[in-house]
A and B are shown apart, each in its own frame.
Chain A
């Protein structure tokens, strides 16, 4: 999973510059010019301290930025790391292929499963093709079809959420974006096979939830999940999209927030500095969690799986019942 990008967020920059300096010194040492071992050790210690300083107290808006980091591992990176024998199925049988949602069968620890996820692009070209991970109705209809297929063949389903949201475009509306999402929600709630959802980056509103009705919902430490994007929230509430940081705080959208609200089941810790700093290690942690939850869910009968999922979502909501 070599992710070639030098992009750095503002708050990451001091750390990355320090690391670059360390690398330079190491190169100099190796070339035999002189011995910088002591200096390197000192700087490495400093880098470690700096990292824990920056990352121990991230604001919600910083977490939002990390969740959208261009170097963050995407769905297909996890597929490559955690699954074998991946066979992508692209057809929605209705209108078009939608590369913003990728799905296919694969093996997890040798066992055949279905994997579905939002997929963002790394390059401008790929982002055009994948529409920045914003699905059109076709993507959701493909997901429905594949999930029904998985159910018929009794294959567990893993979904990976990472989208700014469903695409708000002309054609998407014409072809029933709302209907496509709604049917996904109903379809998922009735599946008789285990469904495990992992939010790996951005959980953008209904477009995220459409593939997120799992028996278990897990989130990476620096991922977010919200009813509307912080920018959208800010532009509605204060008519100013630039106050997104404030909106992020108001909405409480981080993995930790949601775990506190009991909306999600587990927060998967990220490597120091975020998932993009060590994608292989990140994937390993995700794999461990998936394995654990799958083995628990496999104990349940098909009916019990539907019940389990129903009860989970049925209980969501905070209100006062004076009856």
Chain B
């Protein structure tokens, strides 16, 4: 006879990483910077900037485009593009399954949305990374969409704006991801003919193959405050030089100091500053 008549109830396990709701989905949000607990609607009203310390939290791409572009002016294009798995890549999970899970979770096909919109009446060809989709990594779909942003701008004689937030090229698509760097940069070379500005807005974080291609080719390069921007990630650099990196290294303010970007623009001023630049250059 069994010693215990009652079986232990099954311990519920936390769901897999990709399915776990992010902190942003709760009603209260804790600011990473100042630890202030803030009511979510209040933060959203404030464009995901901490009302207490001004820390710029991640801002979902669709919310960003809706707020930066003229109301209801965004027309999304290239929605039909879907990623494939040309290498049959597998790590702890098949890339194919990872894509499927992420897509189900976020209701987005890949890490970039793009189309046409207006800023203070000026039409622009625009695109924005979804960092939450596999770290905003660039595979074939992202590369193709970025390329089309510039092709569209060239055909229609429009300025181009790209908001970047990406860990770099997507490992799971191997060499195809690497080649997107050349493809997108070549598209920019062609776009330059039309003499319209390309404004690149660097968000936290922008590194690797995205930083080292179209993101750093802006006629004007803006960055949000304290965004991490660079070629190699801080961990890789620390391992290489075997010492801790100085405070603020690779942050927007550091890049501005070194002449590597043109201005730091707080989120609240982004729309107005973009409008001003377009007025001056487009």
Contacts and interface: CB of A to CB of B under 8 A. Distances in A.
Of the four ranges (under 10, 10 to 19, 20 to 34, 35 or more), the interface on chain A belongs to 35 or more
A83 interface: no
A237 B208 contact: no
A313 B171 contact: no
Interface residues of B, number: 60
Contacts of A185: 181-182, 185-186, 212-213
A322 B79 CA distance: 9
Contacts of B211: 178, 182
A232 B190 CA distance: 33
A186 B198 CA distance: 14
Nearest to A251: B174
Given A169-B240, A175-B258, A226 B174 contact: yes
Contact of B171 (A167, A168, A237, A318): A237
B106 to A, nearest CB: 18
Contacts of B179: 209, 263, 313, 316-317
Contacts of A250: 87, 89-91
Contact of B174 (A177, A189, A227): A227
B63 interface: no
Interface stretch (B11-19, B32-40, B43-51, B231-239): B231-239
Interface in A134-169: 166-169
B147 interface: yes
A97 interface: no
A253 B178 CA distance: 12
A258 B237 contact: no
B225 interface: no
A228 B176 CA distance: 12
Among B81, B185, B250, find the residue whose CB has the most chain A CB atoms closer than 10 A. Answer: B185
Contacts of A183: 216-217
B257 to A, nearest CB: 9
A206 B186 contact: no
B2 interface: no
A186 to B, nearest CB: 5
A190 interface: yes
Contacts of A57: none
Nearest to B229: A178
A318 B82 contact: no
A167 B84 CA distance: 31
Contacts of A173: 230-232, 237, 249-250
Contacts of B260: 176, 179
A174 B183 contact: no
A2 interface: no
Contacts of A176: 216, 258, 260
Nearest to A264: B175
B84 A314 contact: no
Contacts of B115: none
B186 A319 contact: no
A323 interface: yes
A239 to B, nearest CB: 10
Contact of A206 (B87, B188, B208): B208
A318 B176 contact: yes
B159 interface: no
21 contacts: A166-B232, A167-B240, A168-B231, A168-B232, A209-B178, A209-B179, A227-B173, A227-B177, A227-B209, A228-B169, A251-B171, A309-B186, A316-B140, A316-B180, A317-B140, A317-B144, A318-B86, A319-B141, A319-B144, A322-B81, A323-B78
Interface of B: 78, 80-84, 86-87, 89-92, 139-141, 143-144, 147, 169-171, 173-183, 185-190, 207-209, 211-217, 230-232, 236-237, 240-241, 245, 249-250, 258, 260
Given A182-B217, A186-B185, 17 more contacts: A178-B211, A178-B212, A178-B215, A182-B181, A182-B213, A209-B181, A213-B182, A213-B186, A225-B178, A227-B177, A227-B178, A251-B87, A257-B175, A258-B175, A261-B176, A319-B84, A320-B83
Interface of A: 166-170, 172-179, 181-183, 185-186, 188-190, 205-206, 209-210, 212-213, 225-228, 232-233, 236-238, 250-253, 257-258, 261, 263, 309-310, 313-314, 316-323
